[in-house]
Structure 1
Amino acid sequence: MDEVSNELQSLATAMGFEANSFKSMAHRPAILRGFMALAGSILGPDSNLDKGLRQMIAYISSAASGCRYCQAHTSHGAEVAGVDVKKLESLWLFETSDLFDDRERAALSLALAAGQVPNMATDDHFSTLSNYFSDEEITEIVAVISLFGFLNRWNDTLATQLEKGPLTFAETHLKESGWEVGNHS
């Protein structure tokens, strides 16, 4: 891990804590660096999508796949990005809650469908998205879902232990919707 200590420190600074998932990737420095490059191109400062929306998309797709580690991280990340906690506590009600607008509903609906196995995304999802998002933004939405598909498999397979910040957030704000730490304790 000494070989990637600068990368791990950079990630910890950006996230506000040391993420255990990145520490496990560090056993193969090329994997960590490759992941960082991909994640940076999707989630970095050049993104067109609002950071809070990206985190909500990542949360819904992670929840659809069952990854509690990523649910805790992305909901915590959405709150850090400025998404109201009441909205985060109502994410599973996005289709009917007044807290969400039609633009968000379209993105979250695709995230829910595409996060499932088998993938349930349809042409109708993309038709609806095109009413609210450019082709470039739709590409970013799919990229966020796909990036977290990798993280969902990585963290569930390794039963990555949740860090204190995301764990505390999830236990405080997601339990009402059925979240539990599972194998990530």
Structure 2
Amino acid sequence: METRLNIFEHMAALKPVFGLAGHLNKSSLEVGLRELINFRISQINGCAYCLDMHGKDARHRGESEQRLYTLSAWRETPFFTDRERAALAFAEAVNKAHVPDAVYEAAKSQFTDAELIDLTIAVSTINIWNRLNITFGNEVGTYQVGQFA
């Protein structure tokens, strides 16, 4: 796909989105967990640019290939912790805009109130990036680890 618009030439419009990422970087949510969420939601939303980016970032931070390869079937694998499972279920539910009580309660058992808010912000933020990258067709494969640090 040819790039329609380089969104990074419009940094003023992106400043609030980078602000959300800055907030999450200061949160108590583990970076590895946030990468799993970013990768999983990008799988669901079909954002190739974000999958490339967050796959590279996750591997750079030590995430295993096995866990990334099986993330779309995380419920059927033994590779994820209870905390990660609660976060993934919660993230998927938030992404659908419907969080059943059982999913909420499971997440509440693993996360503080502030972390639940931050999980919701994390899902919302990756959704913004997914929509921007899908809409404007940023070139998949061009991302370098740390490019936006």
Contact 1:62 1:68 in 2 (8 A): yes
- Structure 2: which amino acid aligns with 1:122? P
2:17 corresponds to which letter in structure 1? F
Aligned position for 2:20: 38
Q: TM-score, normalised by structure 2?
A: 0.83
1:152 counterpart letter in structure 2: N
Ranges of 4+ aligned residues in structure 1 off by more than 3 Å: 163-166
Computing the radius of gyration from Cα coordinates, the structure with the larger value is 1
Output the CA distance in 2 between the equivalents of 1:165 and 1:156: 15
1:14 counterpart residue number: none
Q: What is the TM-score when the length of structure 1 is the normalising length?
A: 0.68
Counterpart selection for 2:102 from 114, 119, 124: 124
Alignment size in residue pairs: 141
Q: What corresponds to 1:133 in structure 2?
A: 111
1:56 Cα deviation from its structure 2 partner? 0.3
State the partner residue of 2:37.
57
More divergent stretch after superposition (87-96 vs 23-32) = 23-32
Partner of 1:102: 82
Secondary structure in 2 matching 1:48: coil
Select the structure with the greater relative contact order (CA < 8 A; seq sep ≥ 6): 2
Identical-pair percentage: 28
Over aligned residues, Cα RMSD in angstroms?
A: 2.0
Asked whether 1:88 is paired with 2:68, we answer yes
Structure 2: gaps of 5 or more residues: 145-149
**Stretches of structure 1 lacking an aligned partner (at least 5 in a row):** 1-19, 167-185
